[in-house]
Structure 1
Amino acid sequence: MELKKRALKVVESLLEDSVAEDFLVDCAKFITRANYRDAVEERSIAKMCGYPICPNKLGKMPTQQYKICTKTNRVYDMTERKCFCSNFCYKASKEFEPSKH
Structure 2
Amino acid sequence: KVLQFVESMLEPEVTLEELKAGEELICRLDYDSISQERHILKICGYPLCSNKITKEWRQRYHVSLKDKRIYDVEVRKLYCSVRCMETSLKYRNDHVPEQPIWMRLDDIKMGPSDIGTNERSNI
Q: Same fold (TM over 0.5)?
A: yes
The equivalent residue for 2:98 is 100
Unaligned runs of 5+ in 2: 100-123
1:19 and 1:70, CA in 2 relative to 1: closer, same or farther beyond 3 A?
A: closer
Query: Among the aligned pairs, what percent are the same residue?
Result: 36
Helix, strand or coil at the partner of 2:63 = strand
Change (3 A) 1:72 1:91: closer
How far off is 1:49 after superposition? 0.3
Q: CA deviation at 1:69?
A: 4.7
Aligned residues: 96
**2:60 maps to 1:62:** no
When Rg is computed on C-alpha atoms for both structures, the one with the higher figure is: 2
Q: Which moved more, 1:77-86 or 1:58-67?
A: 58-67
Deviation at 1:70, TM superposition (A): 5.7
In structure 2, do the counterparts of structure 1 residues 52 and 74 end up closer, same or farther at CA, with 3 Å as the change threshold? closer
Asked if structure 1 preserves the Cα contact closer than 8 Å seen for 2:26 and 2:97, the reply is no
SS of 1:59 mapped into structure 2 = coil
What TM-score do the two structures reach when normalised by structure 2?
Answer: 0.69
CA distance in 1, matches of 2:91, 2:67: 26
Q: Over residues 8-55 of structure 1, what are the superposed CA-to-partner deviations in whole Å (9 max), with x where a residue is unaligned?
A: 221111001110011112221111111111110000001000011111
For the aligned residue pairs, the C-alpha RMSD in angstroms reads 1.9
Shift of the 63–20 alpha-carbon distance from structure 1 to 2, 3 Å rule, reads same
